[in-house]
Amino acid sequence: MKKVVVGMSGGVDSSVSAILLKNKGYDVIGLFMRNWDSTLNGDMLGNPTLNNNICPQEQDYNDAKAVCDAIGIPLYRVDFVKEYWDYVFTYFLDELKKGRTPNPDIMCNKYIKFDFFAKEAKKLGADYIATGHYARMKDGKMLRGVDENKDQTYFLSQLSSKQLENVLFPVGELQKSEVRKIALENNLITAKKKDSTGICFIGERNFSKFLQNYLPNQKGDIINIETNEKVGEHIGLMHYTIGQRRGLDIGGNSERLFVVGKDLDNNILYVALGDDNEYLYSDSALIENVNLINNELPKNCTAKFRYRQKDNDVITEMLDNGNVLVKYPQKIKSVTPGQACVFYDNEVCLGGGIIKEVYKNDKKLWYL
């Protein structure tokens, strides 16, 4: 009997993954990861997700334990607080200091869930590891999850083919509604639990207040780039991303102003009127830290520059230094340094990299 260790998060997706694997005859073991110290800086205080003074992380563990007990599998617990800090959170802070918009979930998958977790699973005798991600594996290639609205290959794009060798994604063939139904049919405590949001493992919280524990705010001017007039004051460039409208706090100004750029040297946040403003668009981008899962990148493919974004037709050019120049003559809105650019060939996720620079008409945009 093959042994599989499932990453039990306390959510419905990993819960159903475990029960599906057990029903298929695997020897299933649950493993819960603790990746953040909820007592840091009084994080627990004022957190809206607290339930009866139990921090969300402990509640997740309790839910995972209840699920494992219900389906008759053991649950182990492992502490990756230091590893998460060193490999994910430090990266997150460093990117914010540069004025970029990082995606820590991608690095969490690369370094924590599919590296340190996988090594811990091996110690438990695992033949496979499994997670509740909406993705699929076929012939050594990673495919999008069947549920297009839940597909998570974007967040798995930095994984290597080696990391994906013995990985199972049990819910990748299902719609989210089917996952909920299975959980209800098996009376799992997580059946109606809402999906987690916020930063991976850190969870929901007042983001700006949370960041002040690590990066002090540096207020500066908000300038309308089209009129060169000051329209407000920002609380720190790290709190804003290209294309953002909400949270600008421009007082009585009810115009639809959107973030179109950042001047890091002069601590200025630039905005422009309208969500279709020309200042929001670019036609090419330089991608660094490129990871190609199967060492394939066609000249013509599609790409996502944000998770919820539709696929965009792009032309790729592999450079001598390993970076990739991505061109999109049709122009795309709000392509943002620090975010991931993920490549696809129909259903296959080819991999991706991090957006370093953005251009329009061969001119580097001054986002940073």
Measured CA to CA, the distance from residue 191 to residue 185 in angstroms comes to 9
Looking at residue 76, its amino acid is Y
Active-site residue (options: 55, 68, 200, 301): 200
| 108 given a catalytic annotation | yes
Measured CA to CA, the distance from residue 299 to residue 320 in angstroms comes to 15
Torsion angle, alpha carbons of 124, 128, 171, 49, to 10 = 30
Query: ∠ at Cα 143 (76, 200), nearest 5°?
Result: 45
8 A C-beta contact, residue 256 and residue 275: yes
Up-side HSE of residue 77: CA atoms within 13 Å toward CB? 12
Active-site residue (options: 68, 108, 341, 349): 108
Find tokens 């002069």 and name the residue: 266
Looking at residue 72, its amino acid is G
The tokens of 74 are what? Answer: 């053991």
274 backbone φψ class: left, alpha, beta (φ>0; ψ -120 to 50): left
User: Which of 183, 213, 212, 209 has the alpha carbon at shortest distance from 195?
Assistant: 183
| 55 given a catalytic annotation | no
What are residue 197's phi and psi, to 5 degrees? Answer: -130, 180
Q: Annotated active-site positions, please?
A: 108, 200
